[in-house]
């Protein structure tokens, strides 16, 4: 009989992250980890048709097999487009070279 897999499942909240440590049988998938954790009952705002999932920051599908020590991550949707935010910051903070005064 194979040793069980030890998996972490992580869900970020606005001010902290929730971490669940699970013991799963060999051959378990990302979807198995999510289901076994009970996270969908505890955080009903998670919509797996909208929230992306990953293992160590690499996007994966629900049927992706897990390995011992994997970290399953459920990502929250972005509130704002990061590219647009960078453009806004760059446009608002331009300074002339040398004297530090705004143009």
- Each domain of the chain, given as residue ranges in start order, spans 5-92
Long-range contacts of 52-55 (CB under 8 A, 24+ apart): 55/30
Q: Which span out of 1-10, 11-20, 53-62 was modeled with the highest average pLDDT?
A: 53-62
Structure tokens belonging to residue 82: 């990061």
Exposure pattern of 8-23 as b/e (b: 16+ CB <10 Å)?
A: ebebeeeeeeeebebe
d(CA 66, CA 33): 9
pLDDT, one tens digit per residue, over 7-51 is 999 999 888 889 999 999 999 999 999 999 999 999 999 999 889
The predicted pLDDT at position 18 comes to: 93
What pTM did the predictor assign? 0.72
8 strand-pairing partners: 21, 71
CATH T-level topology, domain 5-92: Ubiquitin-like (UB roll) (3.10.20)
d(CA 31, CA 20): 14
pLDDT of residue 95: 53
């Amino acid at each position: 009989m194979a040793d069980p897999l030890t998996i972490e499942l992580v869900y970020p909240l606005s001010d902290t992250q929730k971490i669940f440590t699970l013991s799963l049988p060999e051959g378990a998938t990302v979807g198995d980890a999510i289901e076994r954790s009970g996270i969908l009952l505890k955080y009903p705002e998670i919509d797996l048709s909208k929230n992306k999932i990953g293992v160590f920051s690499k996007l994966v599908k629900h049927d992706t097999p897990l390995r011992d020590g994997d970290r399953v991550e459920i990502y929250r949707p972005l509130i704002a487009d990061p590219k647009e935010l960078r453009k806004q910051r760059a446009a608002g903070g331009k300074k002339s070279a040398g004297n530090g005064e705004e143009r």
